[in-house]
Amino acid sequence: MKAVLSIAGSDSSGGAGIQADIKTIEAHRLFAETAITALTAQNTTGVFGVENVPPAFVEQQIDVVFDDIRPDAVKVGMVSSGDIAATIARALSRNGARNIVVDPVMVATSGSALAEGGAVATLVDKLFPLAAVVTPNIPEACALAGFPVESEADMERAAVAIASLTPGAVLVKGGHGSSATASDYLLLPDGSGVWLRAARVDNPNTHGTGCTLSSAIACGLAKGLSIEDAVRAAKAYLTRALEAQLDLGRGSGPLDHGVEPGC
């Protein structure tokens, strides 16, 4: 059985972060491993508290995983401080990690900030160079590219700008856009780009969509799929999880991770 390591924060309500990653990896019939970067007190209405894990302990979690059940892919999600970002990069480099998917989480679906000042800069400087795929949504793409992203042409330009920060592929996700579709733009390492078209699912419950998609991409890479095929399969899985119309909580609720995997 292939293994996937999620390096991310814990969501006490179970819809995002480590919990969403574990559910996604298990749905893909792979073995889930974790290194927790932060504990959060959150639910579907917001984030009420964040406690960072000491960087040295984050590093120890990663090292012992690689020393025993070596992961075939790694997903990096919530990195709440610059010190933790630098520590993760050092540990992944030292252990020769491959198939790394970086989801540059900055703000929760509820609108609450999840990263301290300086964390994003260190994430870009230290972790983007290790990534096989980087998966910003539109607000994150705006922050990383340095200009508004409002149209499909803007998404393509943002992907090119972000590609200068990583040797990997860049997936600019359109789910936060205002169009009737939820189309994503994938810029591959060879410079070719492809649009992944899909109808927007009419579902207000989107807590953990970014975590779920990035974990599913890591699953595809762990199974040996190409980057494009892994992204396509992950998008299909996320679409089914939204179409299941799970409705929990008083805010933007979680997805149904138990649907059939995309690969």
Active site amino acids: 173, 206, 208-211
Question: Which residue in the block uniquely carries the two structure tokens 């579902």?
Answer: 203
Closest by Cα among 31, 40, 14, 25 to 101: 25
Amino acid identity for residue 200 in this structure: R
**Among the residues of 146-199, which ranges form H helices?**
152-163
Which residues, other chains included, contact 232 with Cβ-Cβ below 8 Å and sequence gap of 6+? 196, 262
Closest by Cα among 159, 1, 3 to 71: 3
| DSSP type of residue 127 | I
**Among the residues of the chain, which ranges form H helices?**
17-27, 55-68, 82-94, 119-122, 138-145, 152-163, 209-222, 227-243
Closest by Cα among 215, 240, 220, 219 to 230: 220
